[in-house]
Amino acid sequence: MAFSKISPIEFSQTIHKMDGISPKTVEEHLKLYTGYVNKYNEINEKLSALTDEDYMKANQIYSVVRELKVELSFAWGGVINHELYFSRLGGKGGTPEGALLQQIEKDFGSFESFQKDLKASAIAARGWVWTAWNFHENRLINYVGDSQNTFLVWGVEPLLALDTYEHAYFIDFGANRGAYIDAFMNNLDWKVVEDHFMEIGGCCGEGECCGGSCHK
């Protein structure tokens, strides 16, 4: 099975200068992200070396094929989740603007209600929270996932990811996850989220939509 190795991406230097989330936390957290990249490559190497015997012994209780396939999704989730997480940080927080804010107000009633739902979801989560666009329902939803590979909601596109594992906040906040979530919100770069929202919505950028997945 052919594959190409991936490499860690570079994030904005502003993530090392955030208010509340320390450079030390970011430094240690980025090491974990790099670890997921390395393990993803390692697992792919092992998959490419599978033998006919390995394939013949595939089994749902335990087999080399099962182990590698499950861990591949876990490692890939760790890569993408962290890239979503870090690429949305380093901003000034506040509130989004334009079409995204309008959609949040439509789907949640107000931006304050969106924040309340996101924070409660993050406190309830065991791993991640994603604010995602549901193409089938044409609305934004905050989804909860308990592991790197539990984002199993088809037909949605995540706009931002909030890491709720303890490694994301224990250095700075101890067990106070709520304070960490507030700091996350205060350091969001809403412009990045808004740009992604416009890209996936098929909007022309002039208040009109072109395509079947418009924000209505």
Distance CA 143, CA 161 (A): 10
Helix (H, G, I), strand (E, B) or coil at 122: helix
Question: Could you report the per-residue pLDDT of 197-214, keeping only the tens digit for each?
Answer: 999 974 433 344 433 444
Is the model's pLDDT at 18 over the cut of 60? yes
DSSP string, 166-177: GGGTHHHHTT-H
Nearest to 89 by CA among 160, 202, 189: 189
In CATH terms, the superfamily for domain 98-201 is Iron/manganese superoxide dismutase, C-terminal domain (3.55.40.20)
Is-contact 186 164, C-beta < 8 A?
no
Bridge partners of 144, per DSSP, are 129
pLDDT at 213: 44
Local confidence band at 67 (pLDDT 50, 70, 90 cut-offs): very high
Percent of the chain with pLDDT over 90: 87
Least confident of 99-113, 139-153, 154-168, 172-186: 139-153
Calculate the dihedral angle through the C-alpha atoms of 118, 77, 140, 201, rounding to the nearest 10 degrees. 140
Query: Whole-prediction pTM value?
Result: 0.91
**Would you kindly state where each structural domain of the chain is located, as residue ranges?**
22-87, 98-201
Q: What is the mean pLDDT of the chain?
A: 92
Confidence (pLDDT) at 211? 38
CB 41 within 8 A of CB 48: no
For the chain, the residue count is 216
Q: Please compute, for residue 96, the number of CA atoms within 13 A of its CA located in the half-sphere on the CB side.
A: 28
**H/E element, 142:** strand 139-145
